[in-house]
Amino acid sequence: MHQAPATGTHPSVEDADRRSAVAALFALASLSAMPTAATAAASPAAGTTPADLARFDNFKARKGIPMELKQVAPDLWFLYDDLSSNAAFLVTDDGVLVIDSRQHPQHGRELIAMIRKVTDKPIRWLVNTHAHGDHYYGNPAFRDIGATIIAHRDTVAGMVKNERLEFSRRQSFFRSQGLDPKEVRTVLPDVVFDTTLRIGSGQRVAEIFYWGPGQNPGDTMIWVPHAKAVFIGGPFARKNWSNMSFSPSIDGWIALLNKAAALPVDLFLPGHGDVSTREDVLDEARLLADVQAEVKKAIASGLTKEQIVKQLRFPQYADLRNYERIDVFLEALHHLFTTGRPLFPYP
């Protein structure tokens, strides 16, 4: 049988949730100043020195596939944006639920304009699936129109902890697209959840759920049962090298993809890449298993980080999106397998 997320007893977003979310965010905000001070005294953590930050800002402008808004079910739309990141929205009886806000406030405003061409229902909710700026820097546009922004507790922690890293590593993208970096700011979610949350009523609902970390702590999936669709923002990107700097466990990531592939759905909507099939999800699990095995073997045979980066090239995956960033992904895996911690750990 399929291992579907539990259903039936989840609250809608209510005042109690909102109050606890605000309390949780205050706690996070007060903690966020501490790691910087602590790490400054020891050796600098990855991604904190200017040279390091420049190294992670490695977007290469390329000829992308033109952006396309696809209606994938009567009430569900998927925005496929090859050059940047994907988003989606579901029109429920109670209003519109948006999944991810894209990479810049301007992108957020464009997404709102696309929604407005489809429906005049209020845009009530936005879910941030994970703590990468290319998926949540459109948040200010949704804050401006009064949408309630929802994210997993650990996603919010990642947004707070990696605020500087995220902003720094997107500069070449902003430049290449003529987007003003000064407009970008971290707008934190209003509501945090821990396990599941249901939005909507009647036949048109979305199950927002967390199964543990895949690519990132906080990786959130949105299952739309009546559309037989699931949106997997962080852990799944079709025909793509996903960033491996945040995952605490590649085995955990692979297990999550296998579990997601067993959901009773036909449409797998990724954070990057086009509308996908179950086999596409399993392809990413296979890539991760292959890369993990090779890097672990290389470490066991005594190769240094530099030798691993130089020697392991994975030609069978060379035509996938983001392959040009393979060097930093291999470094990140070396770090994970030799220290037991991701390069950028949180919460």
Name the residues that contact Zn ion, by CB under 5 A. 85, 132, 134
> How far, in Å, are 98, 293, 321 from residue 267 at the CA level?
17, 29, 21
Q: Collapse the DSSP code of 214 into the 3-class scheme (helix H, G, I; strand E, B; otherwise coil) and give the result.
A: coil
Asked if 309 contacts 288 with a C-beta cutoff of 8 angstroms, the reply is no
Q: What's the closest the beta carbon of residue 242 comes to Zn ion, in angstroms?
A: 8
Can you tell me the distance from the alpha carbon of 284 to that of 289, in angstroms, rounded to the nearest whole number?
9
Please name the residues in contact with 223: beta carbons below 8 A apart, sequence gap of 6 or more.
4, 5, 206, 207, 209, 229, 230, 263, 265
- Residue 75 or 134 with smaller CB distance to Zn ion: 134
Considering the complex, what minimum distance in angstroms separates the CB of residue 59 from Zn ion?
Answer: 11
Residue type present at position 243:
N
Closest approach, Cβ 34 to Zn ion, in A, equals 27
Q: Is 101 left (phi over 0), alpha (psi -120 to 50) or beta?
A: alpha
Q: Cβ closer to Zn ion: 132 or 170?
A: 132
Cβ proximity to Zn ion, 134 vs 280, nearer residue: 134
Q: Closest distance between Zn ion and the C-beta of residue 80, in Å?
A: 13
Tokens of 136: 């949540």
Residue 335 structure tokens: 């770090």
CB-closest chain residue to Zn ion: 134
For residue 210, the cross-strand partners are 220
Place of tokens 């994210």: 151
Q: Is the CB of 102 or the CB of 204 nearer to Zn ion? A: 102
Of residues 92 and 128, the one with the C-beta less far from Zn ion: 128
Phi, psi of 303 (to 5 degrees): -70, 145
Give the residue with the Cβ less far from Zn ion, 85 or 155.
85
